[in-house]
């Protein structure tokens, strides 16, 4: 180690020399060349500090530029545009490979642009029109309040969104409570079961029809079947069921706060709701643990298992056949899921079953037998007790009978429809997995023909490019190699919630001051106050949770649900009132705060923290 002695000297520059050039043209060019070499070495844009002495340049420091983000692809009209991140709404801010981007673009009707391996929605037209602006801002505020605040700043500033003459940029949202709630759908509990059955039947037809397709016929069949996927996703009855549950949840929270002074009552009402296949997925893995728990030899094997074909050796162990059947039954129902599942290229649980091992072992360690049924029943009792308590208090109010009747009807709507909120994505991901399996078989043929180096080369092509490769039996591998390198760069970037066509990143903020000193602010999405050990986990495969831990992570999509059964509370960097983590946290009765910026760096693994899911903040103890 060398001792470094630093001396700083400040000199006043004469006013007549303050605007003269310091560097020669040759020195400027040399400095630019050095910058390019440094950027190439690190593989991403760099913030470089330099000094010059006696004509020699010295690099003092170089670090990645974390705020520099590529501008979304331009629209054709050349006008100023404003874009919002799709990933923040979908609870998946990682980059997506080209084939994954292509499939998502084929699925959604939203006007999207690509940038940095992510998708951004062009919201310029909807913000420019007074008729659509208020409703959109309310909707996005429920989903991601920091996006709403950033958009509000853009609109009020007036230099990106062009308003019509006399248009008022932002109108305040009036809080009006009423005993009338207008549902978008009949309050019939059989509707959800029918929607789910029709979707599952369609998936079974897809499995049968795709089995004999190959070559161009396969690619064209997938395009055709995606019309069926979109028909199911955007079915008016399906949309009405989801929006009714969301609107009923908001009405119940706002109205009970106004009438009774009680916050977030829908959190308790939503617990153990029927037809939530995502929360059922978490409980089902607890049942898998119940099967394995009596067999120490199987548990020891799972603790050491590394091979991706570990299931093949299970039958040789005492209890192995039972364990194998339980795991395979689980994979048959949920094996198409994985972290980042909206990207069709991501490795599914069915493709890498070892992903489930830490969660199974955690359930064996942290729970007694039959815990899943007890957990569900406890949530159901909480929901029933909350409804009874609300009715008793409402009936004592002026006009209490009418208020109680209206509230009872809204609670019934929530119970009947809130569980379905998670199902359409399940159907989409299931179809994606079927497409992927068929395409991988086609890619294997291309590998055998020497056209691709490996099957995964297809992940770096758009769907249309892949179709062209199948048609021509030719591929310039330099394209896939280049995109692999670009993807590595995209992984280092932090996507903004809001960005303009000029590349300006707009950051939203929470406008709240009634918080404890040094509290870390977020959005309250599931009520309760808990204290515990913070476990900062960025990769669910590395999760080692103890009962009572509080999970701190960047985002959670449905694949994280099995971890929720072991934790005491949840903090995420991304999310809103109706995003996945919030919905499942409420169903499991977990206090949760989402939208906590930089939570995974501001909170250290192992720290004792307190989270307040009622008021939306975190305290480090």
Q: Give the tens place of pLDDT for each residue, 14-58.
A: 766 667 778 888 888 888 888 888 877 776 667 788 888 888 989
Sorted by where each starts, the structural domains of the chain and their CATH numbers stand as 15-64 (3.30.470.20), 70-174+482-509 (no CATH), 187-475 (no CATH), 520-620 (3.50.30.10)
Buried b / exposed e over 549-576, threshold 16 CB at 10 Å, is bbbbbbbbbbbbbbbbbbbbbbbbbbbb
Q: What's the rounded Cα separation, in Å, for the pair 152 and 194?
A: 40
Residue 374, SS3 per DSSP? helix
pLDDT at 309: 77
Q: What's the rounded Cα separation, in Å, for the pair 271 and 586?
A: 6
Q: Does residue 88 have an active-site annotation? A: no
Q: What's the rounded Cα separation, in Å, for the pair 391 and 508?
A: 39
DSSP 79-119: ---EEEEHHHHHT--S---HHHHHHHHHH--S-EEEETTEE
pLDDT at 164: 64
Which segments in the chain show pLDDT lower than 50?
A: 1-5, 172-176
Place of tokens 């298992």: 305
Instruction: Return the half-sphere exposure (C-beta side, CA atoms, 13 A cut-off) of residue 344.
Output: 29
Q: What's the rounded Cα separation, in Å, for the pair 413 and 394?
A: 18
Q: What's the rounded Cα separation, in Å, for the pair 354 and 134?
A: 47
pLDDT at 5: 47
Give the CA distances from residue 280 to residues 259, 539, 577, 616, in Å, rounded to whole numbers and listed in that order.
34, 22, 20, 27
Residue in 160, 161, 163, 133 with CA at minimum distance from that of residue 503: 160
Exposure of 301 by Cβ count < 10 A (0-12 exposed, 13-18 middle, 19+ buried)? buried
Catalytic residue among 88, 243, 453, 580: 580
């Amino acid at each position: 180690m060398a001792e470094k002695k630093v001396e700083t000297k400040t000199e006043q520059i004469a006013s007549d020399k303050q605007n003269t050039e310091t560097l020669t043209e040759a020195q400027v060019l040399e400095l630019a060349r050095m910058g390019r070499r440094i950027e190439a070495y690190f593989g991403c844009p760099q913030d470089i500090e330099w000094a010059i002495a006696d004509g020699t340049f010295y690099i003092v420091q170089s670090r990645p530029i974390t705020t520099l983000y590529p501008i979304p692809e331009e629209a054709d009209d050349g006008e100023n545009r404003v874009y919002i991140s799709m990933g923040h709404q979908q609870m998946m801010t990682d980059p997506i490979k080209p084939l994954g981007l292509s499939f998502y673009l084929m699925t959604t009707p939203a006007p999207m642009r690509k940038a940095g391996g992510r998708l951004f929605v062009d919201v310029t037209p909807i913000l420019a029109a007074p008729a659509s602006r208020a409703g959109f801002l309310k909707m996005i505020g429920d989903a991601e309040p920091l996006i709403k605040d950033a958009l509000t700043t853009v609109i009020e500033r007036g230099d990106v969104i062009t308003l019509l003459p006399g248009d008022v940029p932002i109108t305040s949202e009036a809080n009006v409570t009423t005993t009338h709630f207008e549902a978008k759908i009949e309050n019939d509990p059989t509707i959800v079961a029918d929607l789910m059955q029709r979707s599952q039947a369609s998936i079974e037809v897809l499995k049968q029809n795709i089995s004999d397709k190959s070559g161009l016929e396969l690619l064209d069949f997938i395009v055709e079947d995606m019309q069926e996927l979109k028909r199911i996703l955007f079915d008016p009855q399906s949309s009405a069921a989801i929006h009714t549950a969301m609107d009923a949840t908001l009405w119940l929270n706002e109205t009970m706060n106004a009438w009774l002074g009680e916050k977030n009552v829908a959190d308790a009402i939503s617990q153990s709701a029927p037809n939530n296949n995502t929360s059922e997925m978490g409980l089902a893995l607890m049942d898998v643990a119940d099967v394995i728990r009596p067999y120490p030899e199987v548990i020891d094997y799972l603790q050491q298992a590394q091979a991706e074909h570990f299931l093949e050796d299970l039958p040789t162990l005492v209890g192995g056949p039972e364990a194998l059947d339980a795991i395979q039954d689980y994979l048959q129902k949920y094996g198409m899921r994985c972290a980042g599942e909206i990207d069709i290229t991501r490795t599914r649980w069915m493709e890498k079953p070892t992903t489930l091992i830490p969660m199974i072992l955690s359930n064996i360690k942290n729970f007694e037998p039959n815990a899943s049924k007890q957990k569900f029943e406890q949530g159901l009792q909480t929901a029933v007790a909350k409804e009874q308590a609300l009715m008793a208090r409402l009936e004592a109010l002026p006009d209490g009978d009418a208020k109680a009747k209206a509230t009872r009807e809204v609670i019934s709507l929530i119970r009947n429809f809130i569980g379905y909120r998670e199902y359409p994505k399940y159907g989409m991901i299931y179809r994606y997995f079927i497409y992927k399996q068929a395409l991988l078989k086609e890619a294997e043929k291309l590998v055998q023909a020497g056209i691709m180096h490996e099957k995964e080369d297809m992940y770096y092509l758009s769907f249309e490019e892949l179709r062209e490769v199948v048609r021509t039996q030719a591929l310039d591998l330099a394209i896939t190699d280049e995109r692999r390198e670009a993807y590595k760069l995209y992984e280092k970037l932090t996507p903004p919630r809001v960005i303009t066509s000029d590349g300006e990143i707009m950051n939203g903020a929470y406008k709240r001051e009634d918080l404890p000193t040094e509290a870390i602010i977020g959005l309250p999405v599931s009520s309760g106050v808990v204290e515990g050990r913070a476990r900062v986990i960025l990769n669910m495969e590395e999760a080692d949770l103890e009962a009572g831990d509080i999970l701190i992570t960047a985002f959670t999509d449905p694949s994280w649900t099995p971890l929720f059964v072991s934790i005491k509370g949840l903090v995420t960097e991304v999310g809103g009132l109706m995003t996945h983590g919030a919905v499942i946290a409420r169903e499991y009765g977990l206090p949760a705060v989402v939208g906590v910026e930089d939570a995974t760096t501001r909170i250290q693994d192992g720290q004792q923290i307190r989270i307040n899911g009622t008021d939306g903040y975190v305290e480090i103890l």
